[in-house]
Amino acid sequence: MSNVPVAVVTGSNKGIGLAIVRALCKQFPGDVYLTSRDPGRGQAAVAQLQQEGLQPLFHQLDIDDLQSIRALRDFLKEKYGGINVLVNNAGIAFKVHDTTPFAVQAEVTLKTNFFGTRNVCTELLPLMKPYGRVVNVSSMVSSSALGGCSQELQQKFRSDTITEDELVQLMTKFVEDTKKSVHEKEGWPNTAYGVSKIGVTVLSRIQARLLNEQRKGDHILLNACCPGWVRTDMAGPKATKSPDEGAETPVYLALLPSNADAPHGQFVSNKTVRPW
């Protein structure tokens, strides 16, 4: 078993994920794993970074596939005895003008962005080593979508006592409500991506609370963040930040020094804690 520290970035063969891997290869004192669904694309991204003189490693990971998540979990456990840094970056978004029915967009978007991310956390958080860092990449859209929710939903999503099961029920209800075309009547905003990222931000708050209760002495810090509006396939060419600029906040949170006790359980944008 290796004593080398290890960092894993999900969904990192392009865009912000690739930029996070690049920065970690330069700054993290250990092995950095670039992961992607498609091994070909992942290996190509690794080769690209190798040409820049960096040494990322590759492991296949499809966050929609529990077997794939568990294969990564078992590999990390066996080779490293755990994990030091986890950046949950993998996510999808439909384009604004996509004609896919909204109920389908809701189901597909939440499957990956919320349920997939949650499954990764369920399998990998128990492997986090003391002083580990977990970064869940959310979005400012989670804040604006929260503002578009009914007062009742806002109260639930801001609650300091909401459980993971209750959150899962709410996310499931959103998908069901879209299928019945009653989501707006039920107090939901008209953005599947936004609701999926509300889920990621609230999940992060819950996970941080559980770490405090169960592993207080391990000094693990877990946060959600917004990378900003970044020029990627997802956000398009008009966005204001380059991928490397978008990676700054996630990397800052991934590399919080071992003597730091904050931020934890926060929503962070431009390296600043934002109100939720």
Q: Which positions are annotated as active-site residues? A: 193
Question: What is d(CA 68, CA 72) in angstroms, rounded to the nearest whole number?
Answer: 6
Environment class of residue 210 by beta-carbon count within 10 Å: exposed (0-12), middle (13-18) or buried (19+)? middle
Is there a cis peptide before residue 101, judged by omega within 30 degrees of 0?
no
Question: What is d(CA 10, CA 36) in angstroms, rounded to the nearest whole number?
Answer: 7
Question: What is d(CA 106, CA 263) in angstroms, rounded to the nearest whole number?
Answer: 31
Return the SS3 of 225: strand
Environment class of residue 121 by beta-carbon count within 10 Å: exposed (0-12), middle (13-18) or buried (19+)? buried
H/E stretch holding 112: none
Residue pair 239/251 in contact (Cβ under 8 Å)? The answer is no
Residue pair 206/224 in contact (Cβ under 8 Å)? The answer is no
